[in-house]
């Protein structure tokens, strides 16, 4: 039997949990499909994505560092992808490709799971790169009062031009007193230190877009040590954004919470 084929494309991609998550969604919903990993060279996204889809691949999950390139490459895209300039899921229909960004929805759904309300809350976002662009519109749409802090100023200026409702400040000058702190820097990927005043964690709910299945992330650990009300990593967001992509591809809704519990247990 010829199974519908999907894959996650990124670099690195060896440790991606997406195959495990999507295969579990497929089992839950009785969908017949195969989902694999593709590590593309840094200059090879377009040719490899095109080749995979031309040979019958039905869809791709896109991860770092290709989300921006994927947005520029697809034939059309949804409003979240356009707002963020980034695509994390591609679906093919005939010869045409459509790009989506489900990261922001994934984050909001994880906040619902955690019971964290964001409407009217003072939310500090650390970092001003690609990951932030994916979540900022949905956070503003939910009525949170956003401050974005970054190490270098250039990205803050660009972000403020696109999202005039946010406040911005240098990372080194961030004061305390937040309802929520979200880490959207790539410090963990580059194995560098995220230097922030530990007072920012005090009495705040802290969320790391990065995740780790078997231990806490550095950010979560630091937040817990410095008085956070609660601190969580981004595994929930990963599973929810995947569930949203799966629904777009297959037209059925899997149960993300069961998959999330399974990942934590395993």
| Binding status of residue 137 toward ligand ATR by CB under 6 A | no
Closest CB 158 distance from ligand ATR, rounded Å: 10
What is the DSSP secondary structure assignment for residue 100, as one 8-state letter? E
222 binds ligand ATR (CB under 6 A): no
Question: How many angstroms separate the CA atoms of 266 and 263, rounded?
Answer: 5
Instruction: Between 31 and 101, name the residue whose CB sits nearer to ligand ATR.
Output: 101
- Smaller CB separation from ligand ATR, 155 or 250: 155
34 is catalytic: no
Binding part of the chain for ligand ATR, among 99-107, 112-120, 186-194, 231-239 by CB under 6 A, reads 186-194
Q: Does 128 engage in binding with ligand ATR (CB under 6 A)?
A: yes
| Pair of tokens at residue 241 | 């954004």
Rounded Cα distance, 120 and 76, in Å: 33
Verify binding: residue 58, ligand ATR, rule CB under 6 A.
Answer: no
φ, ψ (nearest 5 deg) of residue 254: -80, 180
The answer to whether 188 touches 219, Cβ cutoff 8 Å, is: yes
Q: Supply the minimum distance, in Å, between the C-beta of residue 12 and ligand ATR.
A: 13
Strand residues in 117-175 grouped as ranges (E): 122-126, 145-150, 167-170
Q: Name the minimum Å distance from CB 2 to ligand ATR.
A: 35
Q: Is 70 in contact with 99 (CB distance < 8 Å)?
A: yes
Nearest-CB residue to ligand ATR?
A: 129
**Beta pairing partners, 60:** 7, 90
Residues that bind ligand ATR (CB under 6 A): 64, 127-131, 150-152, 155, 171, 185-187, 190, 192-194
């Amino acid at each position: 039997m010829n199974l519908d084929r999907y894959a996650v494309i990124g670099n690195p991609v060896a440790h991606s949990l997406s195959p495990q998550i999507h295969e579990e969604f497929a089992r839950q919903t009785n969908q017949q499909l195969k989902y694999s990993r593709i590590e593309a060279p840094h200059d090879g996204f377009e040719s490899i994505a095109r080749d995979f889809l031309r040979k019958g691949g039905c869809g791709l999950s896109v991860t770092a560092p290709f989300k921006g390139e994927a947005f520029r490459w697809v034939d059309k895209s949804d409003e979240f992808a356009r707002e963020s300039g980034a695509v994390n899921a591609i679906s093919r229909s005939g010869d045409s490709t459509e790009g989506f960004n489900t990261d922001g929805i994934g984050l909001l759904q994880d906040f619902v799971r955690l019971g964290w309300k964001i409407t009217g809350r003072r939310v500090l976002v650390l970092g001003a790169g690609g990951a932030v662009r994916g979540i900022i519109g949905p956070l503003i749409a939910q009525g949170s009062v956003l401050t974005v802090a970054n190490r270098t100023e250039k990205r803050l200026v660009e972000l403020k031009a696109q999202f005039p409702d946010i406040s911005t400040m240098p990372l080194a000058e961030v004061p305390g007193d937040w309802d929520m702190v979200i880490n959207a820097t790539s410090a963990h990927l580059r194995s560098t230190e995220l230097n922030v005043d530990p007072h920012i964690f005090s009495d705040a709910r802290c969320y790391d877009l990065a995740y780790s299945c078997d231990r806490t992330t550095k950010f979560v650990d630091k937040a817990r040590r410095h008085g956070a009300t609660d601190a969580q990593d981004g595994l929930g967001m990963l599973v929810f954004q995947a569930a949203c992509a799966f629904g777009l591809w297959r037209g059925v809704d899997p149960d993300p919470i069961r998959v999330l519990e399974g990942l934590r247990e395993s």
